[in-house]
Every structure is written in C-alpha cells, then in structure tokens.
C-alpha cells in the first residue's frame, strides 16, 4: 500500500471512529443539574434533567479514569450541603459522604472588615476527580480549604497544609465568599496540583497536597493595601493544557495572566481585550472564565465582562475572545451570539472544551443558555436556552 493510500485510509478510520464518539455536557444550575448528550457532529442534543430539582448544583464533573463515574455538589440554604455520585453517566444518583470537618483547631481568617473570623464550612464549590483513580476526588470548599476522598466520596479528610500555610490568617473573602473554586491536577508531574481561592490567590503543591506555596508573583491588585502582596489577590480561574502543564493561564479580577514556570511568576496578557471604564480607572481583562483549546496549547478563550458590580458583557454584546498566541492578541468571536441587549454573566466554572479533532467549546450563562461551538469558537449556537442560571459546565468526550 502506497504512503498516500495508507494516509487516506488512516484518515478515514479516524473520521469513522470520531463519528462514533459522543459528547456529554454536565451542567450545574441554580435549580438542578442537567446532562446534555450528542454525537460527534454536535448538531442535535438530548437533554436529561433537572436532576436534584430545586437545589443549587455548584459543580458536576466526571472521572477521567471512568467516564460513567460522576460527582456533583448539591447545596441548599435550607438543607445544607450534599455530595451526589453516579456510576452510570448521570442516569441514576446516590448520596455519599457529606462530613467535611477542618483538621485540628480551625483558627481564624480575616473577615471583610479585617477582623479575625473563625473558619466555617458552608459548601463545596468544586469537585476534581483524580486523573487515574475513579474513587479519588478532591473538593474545594468555602470557607477555603481542600479535602480529599479515596473511597468514592464516602469519607473526606482535609489536606491541612494549605489552610495551615503561614498566610492562612491573612486570607479574606471576596464578594462571593472565601471559596476554593479551582483545582487543577498536573498530568505529567505526579503530586503537583494548583488551586485558586477568592480572595487569597493561587497556590501550588508539589507533593500531593501535603505542603503548599503561594504563586502570586507578578499579580497586581490595586484594591488591596499592598497591590503586590504575597496573598490577597482575587483569582477567578486557572487553566492549563495537558501537554504543557508548566504553562498556566489565569483569569483574575482584572487582568488575564500567563505563567511559563508553573506559577512561579506571572505576566499580563490583556492585549486588546475590551477596556473597563469603571472604578478601576480603565483596566482591561475583567471576567471569570478562561480555558485552553484541547489541541492547541496557545489558543485560549475568555469572556470579558464589565466590572465591578455590573457583571454583564461590554455594550450588551456577548463575545468570546480567542487568542491563538497565548495572549496579548485577541479576536472577538460573535457569530451566533447575541450582539445587542444581552446582559448575562458567565461564571468561573461555566466554560469547558471537548477533545474531538475539531475542538468544541462550551459555556453557560446566568440567563440559562448553554452555547456550543463545534469549530473551536468560530461559530456558536445554543444547545438549550431556558435553564436556570448556569453555575458550571464540564464536558466529557466519550468513545
């Protein structure tokens, strides 16, 4: 067989394999969870839900080790916190462990007015399953701490080295509370993980969560007493590409940032993002979400919104901005998105990508829309329009 024929045959086989793939979008909302499924064309979608109707679902995420193992964080002002688990891709669910107890004497952090305030568990913001073991999962909670389960979320233990870090008493809540909302696991360096806290900043562990160090050098936050402090920065989200885990991208409270040394230093890559003319004096780059293309490590996505209390798109135009150069040079992606009278927000956990050859990008809004792009952001369309306010979006690419 000639080289050209072999290449064509390989391409056909890849296309046939991809056509058999499925995409599962996991959506957490203010009033329940939804599971959206489609084939690789991503043209028609089945909608399952609401699961846990009436409950706030802060986050739903599947295990990479077993895609049918899903975890969900269910919360209610009346009934408290509950972790749910599914073993069949969201068809059925069971409540699992819900005892989150801080290790030792909790101590205090700073309250909004700078006075000492005791650590108090409120809810789970983020669930991050292990990359290799379906029964190991990490939980980021409010008040900020990281917990781990090794028995499928039946029992939880705190990794106290983070909260017990010497800066812990200086941490202070952001507008949404003092929440550990982001957990990123390094797929290459065993034991390395990154977390982000509003409003303490970003931290890294190189030993599986036993010890931690702040990684905020280069961040500048004019709203705190020392704008370049070791901690105190309101980091909204961190993202990485699996093939290049030493390169991190950050959406901060003002500024999109990049690190090329696993967080040891950061630089601003706002470039030509829209300018916010509010109380910050014209800074660029306010937003909550950030994500990275599945196959292009320098292609990143953000959704700029107005700060500080407005939290809706600039000029009422819902635009995703894409950089193909790792920041600084940005293009607005608008085809299929509303370009007038749109005043929704896109929250920090509400964007994700699939891993099909033509990378799909997804995000949800506080208006209840979930948008999908099957072509890396060039065109968009709504999967659903009328869900409750979307808190989180995660995507699984299934064989």
Query: Closest by alpha carbon to 42, among 25, 64, 23?
Result: 23
Residue 338 region by backbone torsions, left for phi larger than 0, else alpha for psi between -120 and 50, else beta: beta
Strand order in the sheet with 235-241: 235-241, 244-252, 256-259, 267-268
Q: Which pLDDT does position 280 carry in this prediction?
A: 47
Give residue 284's pLDDT band: very low, low, confident or very high (50, 70, 90): confident
Q: Which pLDDT does position 282 carry in this prediction?
A: 56
Q: What angle do CA 265, 270, 274 make, to 5 degrees?
A: 155
Burial 20-38 (b: 16+ CB within 10 A, else e): ebbbbbbbbbbbbbbbbbb
Q: Which pLDDT does position 285 carry in this prediction?
A: 86
pLDDT above 90: percentage of residues in the chain: 86
Q: Which pLDDT does position 278 carry in this prediction?
A: 47
pTM: 0.93
Least confident of 12-21, 174-183, 236-245, 277-286: 12-21
Give residue 392's pLDDT band: very low, low, confident or very high (50, 70, 90): very high
Q: How does the average pLDDT of the chain come out, rounded?
A: 93
Query: Closest by alpha carbon to 140, among 80, 47, 203?
Result: 203
Give residue 350's pLDDT band: very low, low, confident or very high (50, 70, 90): very high
Strand 213-214 to 201-205 pairing: antiparallel
Burial of 372 (0-12, 13-18, 19+ CB in 10 A): buried
Least confident of 67-81, 180-194, 246-260, 280-294: 280-294
> Among positive and negative, which fits the CA dihedral 54, 313, 35, 131?
negative
Compute the average pLDDT of residues 222-245.
94
Q: Which pLDDT does position 15 carry in this prediction?
A: 52
Least confident of 1-5, 64-68, 337-341: 1-5
Query: Closest by alpha carbon to 303, among 201, 312, 295?
Result: 312
Q: Which pLDDT does position 77 carry in this prediction?
A: 83
Burial of 115 (0-12, 13-18, 19+ CB in 10 A): exposed
Give residue 325's pLDDT band: very low, low, confident or very high (50, 70, 90): very high
Query: Closest by alpha carbon to 22, among 360, 292, 375?
Result: 360
Residue 350: CA count within 13 A, CB half-sphere? 27
**Domains observed in the chain:** 28-345 (2.130.10.10)
The more confident residue out of 3 and 358 is: 358
Of all helices (H) and strands (E), which one includes residue 198? strand 193-198
Strand 244-252 to 256-259 pairing: antiparallel
pLDDT in tens, 8-46: 554 444 555 556 799 999 999 999 999 999 999 999 999
pLDDT in tens, 101-133: 999 998 999 999 999 999 999 999 999 999 999
């Amino acid at each position: 067989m000639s080289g050209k024929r072999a290449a064509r045959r390989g391409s056909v086989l890849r296309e046939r394999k991809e056509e058999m793939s499925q995409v599962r979008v996991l959506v957490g909302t203010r009033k329940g969870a939804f599971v959206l499924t489609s084939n690789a064309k991503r043209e028609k979608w089945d909608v399952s839900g609401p699961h846990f109707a009436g409950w706030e679902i802060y986050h739903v995420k599947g295990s990479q080790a077993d895609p049918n193992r899903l975890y969900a964080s269910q919360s209610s002002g009346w009934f408290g916190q509950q972790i749910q688990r599914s073993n069949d891709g969201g068809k059925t669910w069971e409540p699992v462990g819900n005892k989150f107890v801080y290790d030792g004497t909790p101590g205090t952090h700073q309250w909004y007015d700078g006075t000492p305030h005791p650590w108090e568990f409120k809810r789970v913001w983020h669930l991050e399953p292990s990359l290799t073991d379906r029964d190991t999962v990490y939980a980021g909670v409010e008040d900020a701490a990281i917990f781990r389960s090794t028995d499928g979320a039946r029992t939880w233990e705190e990794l106290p080295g983070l909260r017990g870090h010497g800066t812990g008493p200086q941490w202070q809540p952001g507008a949404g509370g003092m929440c550990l909302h982001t957990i990123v696991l390094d797929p290459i360096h065993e034991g390395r993980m990154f977390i982000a806290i509003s409003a303490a900043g970003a931290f890294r562990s190189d030993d599986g969560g036993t010890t931690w160090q702040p990684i905020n050098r280069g961040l500048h936050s004019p709203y705190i007493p020392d704008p370049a402090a070791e901690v105190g920065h309101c980091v909204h989200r961190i993202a990485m590409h699996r093939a290049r885990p030493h390169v991190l991208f950050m959406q901060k409270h003002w500024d999109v940032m990049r690190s090329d040394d696993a967080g040891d230093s950061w630089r601003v890559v706002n470039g030509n993002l829209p300018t916010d003319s509010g109380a910050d004096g014209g800074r660029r780059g306010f937003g909550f979400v950030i994500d990275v293309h599945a196959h292009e490590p320098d292609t990143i996505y953000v959704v700029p919104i107005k700060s500080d209390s407005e939290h809706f798109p600039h000029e009422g135009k819902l635009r995703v901005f894409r950089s193909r150069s790792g920041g600084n040079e940005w293009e607005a992606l608008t085809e299929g998105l509303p370009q007038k009278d749109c005043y929704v927000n896109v929250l920090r956990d509400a964007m994700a990508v699939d891993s099909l050859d033509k990378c799909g990008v997804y995000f949800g809004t506080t208006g209840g829309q979930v948008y999908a792009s099957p072509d890396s952001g060039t065109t968009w369309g709504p999967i659903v329009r009328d869900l409750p306010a979307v808190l989180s979006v995660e995507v699984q690419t299934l064989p």
